[in-house]
Amino acid sequence: MNKSAKYDLPVLNLGEDPFERGLIHGRELSSMINNNVKTYLNRFKAGGLNENTARDESENWIEAIKRQNEEYFVEMSGVAEGSNIPIKDIAMLNARYEITFGLFGKEANNDFDASKVDNTDGCSTFGLLPEVTSNNHTILGQNWDWLAGIHNNCVLIRINRSKGTNIIFFTEAGILGGKMGVNEHGIGLVENGLVSNHDGANQYEKPFHVRCREILDSDSFDQALRPVIETKRVCSANFVIGHADGEIINIETSPNEASYHFPEEGIITHSNHFTDTRHGPSLMERISTSTLYRGNRLKRLLMKNKGNLDEHLCKQALADHFGLPNAICRHPDETLPQAKQTMTNAAFVIDLNQRRMSVANGPPCSNSFINYSIDS
């Protein structure tokens, strides 16, 4: 494992065998994984879900993940053995999105209570087609806004293998599905959390994080779209999937619906509310009203430099502070209980043609970006 002395972001270089990958992940990051387990148990408790119920629900996800993606399950088993943390806790991390909504979805449908459904990733994302970038590359970007307690418990994972796709992605320690990343075929992913009144349906369908990993494991663009749309989902999410050859598709998903959105004038942005009404009532804006301006503001900031957009200008847009603390560049709101405080845990500009991620480990206004590629 390598670390940047200043930014303290671990990088795991992993290989062919899924169990061995998990074993190394668990051994190297055991304390971080344990921290994340504690953070989520505290967050669940703050939303009304006790520790025993959360862990009981995790047992069901062990078999669900094994059934849906056996290699993911084997790697997850390696993490459990390497970290000496029970596999049900590792399953809890990998299905933490679904556990929350599977148990709280009914309450959200019948009697909306923001305190019970704000357990989803925030984020502001963008995608740029070659015609608007200074180097004619396809670029994805994101500020990942999530629980402040997760910061410094995340990792970059690089997987190189002779059989299968080589990838690099960012994730929380203990979670195998990279939410932001790029692979050797020039396929990249960023994402946003969404909330609908249907969340919690389709119990034990493929978890969000398994879908993310399958996207990045894909060797073609059409294959990368399948994990999102082939099966119904437990909860809502937005996926921005791009290809180095100049394609970007934004897919809004709720448990039973998917809608498709494409760049306009070469740019697409998204925050945390639905833009398509087929999904039913969109609930995130009741929890976080900043979603109503973050995506549109990000688009305007990028449009000002259309045709000349480079990494510097993208990073500048991600550091925007309008609406602080609930800005594109988010800082903890200290008026909230600590378990519910969120921040920009990391920021990303991903050049799909160069197969390179530029990552700031924290709010981009105060943390420098470091480049990471698939090879080094």
pLDDT at 333: 86
Task: Using pLDDT thresholds of 50, 70 and 90, give the confidence band for residue 105.
Answer: very low
Decide if 93 is inside a domain: no
Decide if 111 is inside a domain: no
pLDDT at 102: 59
Percent of the chain with pLDDT over 70: 92
Task: Using pLDDT thresholds of 50, 70 and 90, give the confidence band for residue 79.
Answer: very high
Tell which residue, 58, 69, 77, 96, has the closest CA to residue 20. Answer: 77
pLDDT in tens, 23-63: 999 999 999 999 999 999 988 887 788 899 999 999 999 99
Decide if 364 is inside a domain: yes
Q: What is the mean pLDDT of the segment spanning 112-140?
A: 80
Which residues have C-beta within 8 Å of that of residue 333, sequence separation ≥ 6?
Answer: 325, 326, 341, 342
Q: Is pLDDT of 106 > 50?
A: no
The answer to whether residues 174 and 90 touch, using CB atoms and an 8 Å cutoff, is: yes
Tell which residue, 280, 361, 338, 354, has the closest CA to residue 130. Answer: 354
Task: Using pLDDT thresholds of 50, 70 and 90, give the confidence band for residue 97.
Answer: confident
Decide if 140 is inside a domain: yes
Decide if 214 is inside a domain: yes
Structure-token match 């760049």, residue found: 263
Q: Is pLDDT of 120 > 70?
A: no
Query: CA–CA separation, 231 vs 229, rounded Å?
Result: 6
pLDDT at 286: 82
Give how many domains the chain has, as a whole number: 1
Question: For residue 325, is the peptide bond before it cis, meaning its omega torsion is within 30 degrees of 0?
Answer: yes
Q: Is pLDDT of 103 > 70?
A: no
Decide if 101 is inside a domain: no
| Range scoring the smallest mean pLDDT among 50-54, 243-247, 265-269 | 50-54
Highest mean pLDDT among 111-120, 243-252, 285-294: 243-252
pLDDT at 252: 98
> What's the whole-number average pLDDT of the chain?
92
Range of the domain at 329: 2-15+120-373
Higher pLDDT, 149 or 364: 364
With 0-12 / 13-18 / 19 or more C-beta atoms within 10 angstroms meaning exposed / middle / buried, residue 17 is middle
Decide if 253 is inside a domain: yes
Q: Assign 151 to helix, strand or coil.
A: coil
The span from the first CA to the last CA of the chain, in angstroms, equals 13
Decide if 115 is inside a domain: no
Q: Is pLDDT of 187 > 80?
A: yes
Q: Is pLDDT of 1 > 90?
A: no
Q: Is pLDDT of 117 > 70?
A: no
CATH number of the structural domain spanning residue 247: 3.60.60.10
Higher pLDDT, 280 or 126: 126
